[in-house]
Amino acid sequence: MYKYDNYDQQMVDARVEEFRDQARRRLEGKLTEDQFKPLRLMNGLYLQLHAYMLRVAIPYGTLNGEQMTALANIADKYDRGYGHFTTRQNLQYNWIKLEDAADILADLAKVEMHAIQTSGNCIRNISSDHFAGAAQDELVDPRPYAELLRQWSSFHPEFTYLPRKFKICVIASEKDRAAMRLHDIGIQIVQQDGEIGARFFVGGGMGRTPMIAPMIRDFVPLDQLITYAEACLRVYNRYGRRDNKYKARIKILVHELGKDEYTRQVEEEFAHMLDQGVEPPREELERLKPFFADPTFEDGAKTVDRSDPDFALWVDRNTHRHKNDAYVSAVISLKPVAGIPGDATGDQMRVMANLAQQYSFDELRIMHTQNVVLPHVKIADLHALWTQLDAADLGAPNMDTIEDMIACPGLDYCALANARSIPLAQRISEKFDASGKTEKLGELKLKISGCINACGHHHAGHIGILGVDKKGVENYQLSLGGSEAEDVSLAKITGPGFTEDGVIEAVETVTDVYLAQKQGEERFLDTYRRIGMAPFKEALYD
């Protein structure tokens, strides 16, 4: 994985000291909250319901054991012994004191981490495929391109005050495991006539106006990648709305201009920029690639002993095919039955760090589904790994099942939320686990957001739940048919909302419809697409 050079380290260290001074001045009353707020947000420090919240960037979700251990130590020393992994492949601490914030950033900097650009109207953490560099089906490892984009977008002076926040995703396989087309810019690394290049999708996103990004260019040569991205941003920065934050995202601009006109303007800007030296030298990309080189894989067993049914179930559900057939990527579920999705204690983080060092070439990945991946695990080591995970309550065999739901922090933590998300996740997980129905349902992606900002990706859920405020009472809208994958689609609302108890019953009802109507190996989403909304509505409301 990427290692900081002196310049990277100096930038991050300088930023820590700059923030230390800003926080000191705030505490001494030399800065008002209005003056300080944009400064703290630029360093990932929010004020949430119960305390300050710090969001730490995990670039494209990749980190090593030392970094995970540092996150654990911060959780224990400065927070309340846990952290929350997010749908942006980041980590959030919920109980931070302003007087500790600079010390935390200093601790992060010691392990090449920071919280820069995890808030504000700038280019946020670049996200990517959590199986990057390991997946059998990828064209190349997308992370060198993500790292190039990270370096380009860090402290980019032109894009520090965009009309609104901006999210970029890079993948390199036909299978989309990163919700690529639901980003402001989604980049797919592709091959054309033997040459590697980038396909650009622009103007996707969730939030109050969900949109799927249309493709605006099917191939950009690698030596023009940054220039093209910059052209996309420039057109947005120039014409994106600044008068209304709800219409300020690039998806609104692309929608209002129309894909063709937006593309025309980008191409015009791109042509203008091509001879201006915007593109970093190709050598820079080549310099980055060795950081992401394959570890030295060894030959080994290709199968496991399946005599332990619990272990066999975990292998079936929580491992992913690796490009080396003696290895798999192992998914560590942060969704124990009735647990809080995405939360891990400091002790659990240390267990994961140690297991990464022991079994996965010291690498971990954070999934946007709020789980953790050990990307390169020898099949021969799987049983030993699973045994240790299980002992740490990290062995839930539920990847991509209804119990593996995404849930935002919701009204239990978030100042923007209208309703609680986590209690729904807990109750649904408990209910389906107890009934044994999870197995019958197979792949079923449930996503829960506590407000219209859609941090819980409810628009992209096979089943989505959105919490709303109905005259001061929590109410929940149900939606069906979304997908964040390569078969991307936006979920549609079933009808009137439900109470907390009602929406849990409603989830059960729609899964009953699916099981009754399912043909062959259809997933819930396939059945929904075949039979449409009507049978589900009938069961829910008639």
Partner 1 sequence: MKVLTGNDLKTGDVTWWTGTSWSRDVNDAADVGERGAEILAREEAARRVNVPYLIEAERTENGVRPAHIKDRVRAVGPTVRPDLTLNPQNPEALDWVI
Site residues (CB under 8 A) for partner 1?
A: 26-27, 29, 33, 47, 49-52, 80, 95-99, 340, 411-413, 417, 420, 422-423, 426, 472-474
Cβ proximity to partner 1, 133 vs 339, nearer residue: 339
The pair of three-digit structure tokens given for residue 90, joined into one six-digit string: 């980041």
CB of 26 to partner 1, least distance (A): 8
Residues with Cβ within 8 Å of residue 300, at least 6 apart in sequence: 326, 327, 378, 379, 380
Cβ proximity to partner 1, 370 vs 426, nearer residue: 426
Q: Give 211's DSSP letter.
A: B
Cβ proximity to partner 1, 93 vs 536, nearer residue: 93
CB of 197 to partner 1, least distance (A): 46
CB of 99 to partner 1, least distance (A): 5
Cβ proximity to partner 1, 423 vs 482, nearer residue: 423
Q: How buried is 296 (Cβ within 10 angstroms: 0-12 exposed, 13-18 middle, 19+ buried)?
A: exposed
CB of 381 to partner 1, least distance (A): 34
Cβ proximity to partner 1, 51 vs 490, nearer residue: 51
Cβ proximity to partner 1, 266 vs 408, nearer residue: 408
Q: How many CB atoms neighbour CB 488 within 10 A?
A: 19
CB of 166 to partner 1, least distance (A): 26
Q: Give yes or no for a contact between 53 and 93, defined as CB atoms under 8 angstroms apart.
A: yes
Cβ proximity to partner 1, 345 vs 357, nearer residue: 345
Q: How many CB atoms neighbour CB 221 within 10 A?
A: 14
Q: Which long-range contacts (CB under 8 A, 24 or more apart) does 213-218 make?
A: 213/180, 213/181, 213/182, 213/183, 213/184, 213/185, 213/186, 213/251, 213/254, 214/254, 214/259, 216/259, 216/262, 216/263, 216/266, 217/263, 217/266, 217/267, 218/190, 218/192
Q: How many CB atoms neighbour CB 219 within 10 A?
A: 14
CB of 404 to partner 1, least distance (A): 18
Q: What is the DSSP string of 154-197?
A: TT-GGGSS-SS-B-EEEE-SSS-SS-GGGSSEEEEEEEETTEEE
CB of 411 to partner 1, least distance (A): 6
Q: Hey, is 531 helix, strand or coil? A: helix
Nearest to 184 by CA among 145, 115, 111, 235: 235
The pair of three-digit structure tokens given for residue 6, joined into one six-digit string: 């002196």
Cβ proximity to partner 1, 83 vs 197, nearer residue: 83
CB of 328 to partner 1, least distance (A): 33
